[in-house]
Structure 1
Amino acid sequence: MSSRGISSKLLLLESRPLRHLFFARSISILGDMLTPIALAFAVLSFSGSASGLGIVLAARALPSLVLMLLGGVIGDRYPRRAIMIISNILGFLSQGLIGLLLITDHASVWNIALLTALRGVTSSFFNPASTGAIAQVAPDGKKQEAFALFAIAGNIAEIAGPVLAGIVLVYLNPGWILVADAFTFLLSAMIIMTSGPLGNPKKTKSTNGSVFQELREGLAYVTKQTWLTVLIVSASVFQFLLLSSLGVLGPLVAEKHLGGAPDWALISTALGIGSIAGSIMVMYFKPKRPLFVGFLLLIIGSGPTLLLLALPASTPIIAISEFISGFSISFFSTLEATAISRLVPNHLMSRVDSINRFGSMALKPLGMAIIGPVSGLIGVEKTLILAASITILAVSWPLTISSIRNLNFSPHKENDKQLIG
């Protein structure tokens, strides 16, 4: 892969609106990736209990999930640029206040949970609006490369953020990391302010209806598109079983049978590096049947890690499996985002994105809650094997659906929003 080839992809960023969106979103993601470790250790330090940390984490997740569908409606009704700016400013305030509370030793579980909930609210509006904006300003014929570039930046941030946070925590109060995160939101808002026009959702008759009418319109569109419905159902089972099993049972296996936290950190890093590799590769490979190829890759990358943890295999073998998993998931996710951006009408883009996110994530909290008790009943090994088997089925059955197998991108017709039943 030549440097000239990579440079040609970066030429996409010559577009001022896309360039500003790219840096604004990348900076805020980096800030977000700094905070989980810092906030976790800070809450454990002043609360002294895992339940306190659980309350804070739930406060972040629940508003984001509950308001996600509303965020999609708002993103299709009002200027997306304004939504992103307001969300970033609120993110600056919430994270900055958390940082100050930690630095001044005035933090409690409940005031941190309240401010963390505000951060969850902002993300539920920012994400659908930004996805719609990217789809609208990305050049025709280059949407796949554009989404791949954003994915690469996000994947790099997911690796770099925890590393930077770990280094800073050795020397400084965790509150300073939250303050740094706050300023990434402020910087992101300033960049978007200077981006120029990012396009506005097209007005339709439904835009004058109520929020619930617009949400129903989005849901009706998704349910009529078999390929979209299949994507959401498959992703929901995927997150329910695979991601929950990795998140809960992975560290447990590493602690009992591998080398503990350092080995699990190595395995997690391999996942991130694989994600970057997948995002780079998808810029150069444009399959004629993108979702068909994407699901084939997911089959390869979905089950092996859980099965290897069940053995358990050695850390290097599991790390290689996670690299492949990261590659396949990132490759698939970019193809999925491209399909949605090219085939869904722009005035529905934010709603469809939020419905997709909501449907994909809805069962994950339940999975995180029950995977531990289930493993206590039938054993960790059997739980991992069962989760791997069902996950492989969840990413295999879409290949039996004709609209998944046959979905294709017509050359030079990105503005023709096809309806695929």
Structure 2
Amino acid sequence: MSKRRPDTLAPLREQNFRWYFYSRLVNMVGGTMASVALAFAVLEVSDSPSALGTVLAAMSIPMVVFLLVGGVVADRFGRTLVIQSANVVSGLCQLGIASLVLSGHAQVWQLVCLAAIIGTSSALSFPALASVLPQLVPRDQLQQANVLISMMRGTLTVVGPSVAGILVVTVGPGWALAVDGTSYLAAAALLLRVKIPAPVRREDAPSMLVELREGWTVFRSTTWLWVVVLAFGALNAIHSGAISTLGPVLAKQSDIGERGWGLILSAEAVGLLAMTLVMTRVRLERPLLFGMVGIGALALPMVMLGLHPQVAPVMAVAVLAGAGTEIFNLGWNLAMQENIPDDMLSRAYSYDALGSFVAIPVGQLLFGPLGVAFGVQRVILFGGLAYLAIVALTLASRAVRTLPRVSTTSDVAP
């Protein structure tokens, strides 16, 4: 990594990026509280780890099923339109969950159904969210644009989980979910100010199946892409099972508690934000080498929860996990946005997300029963050790270790 100092705020001078940034800001205000609130909302309805895993899986399974469709839809109909539509649907469903929880009438099957709709809309919008930046800023500002989004996310997630933990303890999880639902709708309204020409469709345009095959060709012919995605199929399954499913359960069973769990998630956000500030001044030259080393730190909270489930030590390693996650996120987005053609980028991201997310429901559904059978703390520990082993195997790929940055100064993608 060299020590150039790019103009971090340059992307905000682009009107389209500025309004997109405001939209993501509003959306993330609610989103940073939603994960904590939803977990404890389910545990309020049923204290079973399996029930929580079922609700989370109901959200993630549609993401797996509809991700490829989302990539084609984004490239066909325009990325901002897809994001707006998904925000409206997700916002209404999240408000529905909030009303059920606040009224005291929530049942697990209702949460499962609404979570499944949110997962579907998220699947359709994820490739658009991931691939829209090259249309909003000049190519030589991609690192700064990605860093600004990460900085905003990190700043909010420092506060959001802790606020959510306090709300859960004081007034219940429903209010945090209501804030998230409202933020979806406000974000959709702000995106109206983003003006990107809609994709031009020819009369002889290929079918959706042909476009999916084109995306698959790019995916399988790019070694670093499929190697990292294959690894993340397992890594995300472990993390979602050990942290998202069993983490709140262990927090409730131990001295950590709901508020402590919120503090741990906020500590991870502190590390992410701190590393984001570093990335405003340092050019990431080997995006995947540093990225995979960084993501290995995500195993540390699992290991610490398995060995010593107390708030302070888990918070300490969560800071490192957040810093490493930011390095990977930035490195991965730069690798994709600089090396994949723009007209294929949404589809490439959809195959990336499909491979990365496909096993998440397995982790969410499997780790609950494993925790019951072998002990929650022990299963989390072994999950962390397996996570480190998979990261090491991924770094054995030369294509991953040696991928460089692509120097470019081109204008905003048409």
Q: 1:379 to 1:162 in 2, by over 3 A?
A: closer
**Where does residue 364 of structure 1 map in the other structure?**
360
Equivalent-residue separation in structure 1 for 2:388 and 2:162 (angstroms):
32
**Where does residue 18 of structure 1 map in the other structure?**
17
Residues 99 and 175, structure 1, Cα contact 8 Å, conserved in 2: yes
Equivalent-residue separation in structure 2 for 1:122 and 1:302 (angstroms):
27
**Where does residue 296 of structure 1 map in the other structure?**
293
Superposition CA RMSD, Å: 3.5
Q: How big is the shift at 1:17?
A: 0.5
Equivalent-residue separation in structure 2 for 1:380 and 1:47 (angstroms):
17
Q: Given the alignment of the two structures, is residue 227 of structure 1 paired with residue 224 of structure 2, yes or no?
A: yes
Equivalent-residue separation in structure 2 for 1:406 and 1:399 (angstroms):
10
**Where does residue 126 of structure 1 map in the other structure?**
125
Q: How big is the shift at 1:368?
A: 2.8
**Where does residue 214 of structure 1 map in the other structure?**
211
Q: 1:282 to 1:184 in 2, by over 3 A?
A: same
**Which residue among 250, 263, 267 is the counterpart of 1:266?**
263
**Where does residue 348 of structure 2 map in the other structure?**
352
1:119-150 Cα offsets, whole Å, 9 max, x none, are 22221122211222113212221111211211
Equivalent-residue separation in structure 1 for 2:384 and 2:51 (angstroms):
31
Output the amino acid matched with 2:265.
Answer: S
Equivalent-residue separation in structure 2 for 1:167 and 1:17 (angstroms):
36
Output the amino acid matched with 2:362.
Answer: L
Equivalent-residue separation in structure 2 for 1:44 and 1:25 (angstroms):
29
Q: 1:93 to 1:6 in 2, by over 3 A?
A: farther
Q: 1:17 to 1:37 in 2, by over 3 A?
A: same
Residues 152 and 280, structure 1, Cα contact 8 Å, conserved in 2: yes
Q: 1:369 to 1:14 in 2, by over 3 A?
A: same
- 2:30 alignment partner, SS class: helix
Equivalent-residue separation in structure 2 for 1:388 and 1:107 (angstroms):
33
**Where does residue 308 of structure 1 map in the other structure?**
304
Q: What are the ranges of 5 or more consecutive residues in structure 1 without an aligned counterpart?
A: none
Q: How big is the shift at 1:328?
A: 0.7
Equivalent-residue separation in structure 1 for 2:362 and 2:320 (angstroms):
26
Output the amino acid matched with 2:281.
Answer: Y
Residues 21 and 134, structure 1, Cα contact 8 Å, conserved in 2: no
Residues 267 and 318, structure 2, Cα contact 8 Å, conserved in 1: yes
Residues 165 and 262, structure 2, Cα contact 8 Å, conserved in 1: no
Q: 1:175 to 1:318 in 2, by over 3 A?
A: closer
Q: How big is the shift at 1:9?
A: 1.4
Q: Given the alignment of the two structures, is residue 189 of structure 1 paired with residue 185 of structure 2, yes or no?
A: no
Equivalent-residue separation in structure 2 for 1:261 and 1:404 (angstroms):
39
**Where does residue 78 of structure 1 map in the other structure?**
77
Output the amino acid matched with 1:296.
Answer: V
Q: What are the ranges of 5 or more consecutive residues in structure 2 without an aligned counterpart?
A: none
Residues 343 and 414, structure 1, Cα contact 8 Å, conserved in 2: no
**Where does residue 343 of structure 1 map in the other structure?**
339
1:251-280 Cα offsets, whole Å, 9 max, x none, are 565566654444444333221211112222
Q: 1:374 to 1:159 in 2, by over 3 A?
A: same
Q: 1:396 to 1:256 in 2, by over 3 A?
A: same
**Where does residue 141 of structure 2 map in the other structure?**
142
**Where does residue 405 of structure 1 map in the other structure?**
401
**Where does residue 320 of structure 2 map in the other structure?**
324
**Which residue among 285, 304, 317 is the counterpart of 2:282?**
285
**Where does residue 246 of structure 1 map in the other structure?**
243
Number of aligned residue pairs: give it. Answer: 410
Output the amino acid matched with 2:329.
Answer: S
**Where does residue 198 of structure 1 map in the other structure?**
196
Residues 137 and 199, structure 1, Cα contact 8 Å, conserved in 2: no
Equivalent-residue separation in structure 1 for 2:250 and 2:46 (angstroms):
27
Q: 1:311 to 1:187 in 2, by over 3 A?
A: closer
Greater RCO between the two (CA within 8 Å, min separation 6)?
A: 2
Residues 73 and 211, structure 1, Cα contact 8 Å, conserved in 2: yes
Equivalent-residue separation in structure 2 for 1:200 and 1:46 (angstroms):
44
- 1:412 alignment partner, SS class: coil
Q: 1:384 to 1:132 in 2, by over 3 A?
A: closer
Residues 399 and 405, structure 1, Cα contact 8 Å, conserved in 2: yes
Q: How big is the shift at 1:165?
A: 3.7
Q: How big is the shift at 1:398?
A: 2.9
Equivalent-residue separation in structure 1 for 2:50 and 2:22 (angstroms):
36
Output the amino acid matched with 1:338.
Answer: L
Equivalent-residue separation in structure 1 for 2:266 and 2:291 (angstroms):
22
Give the TM-score normalised by the residue count of structure 1.
0.83
1:291-313 Cα offsets, whole Å, 9 max, x none, are 122223334x1444333334337
Output the amino acid matched with 2:73.
Answer: I
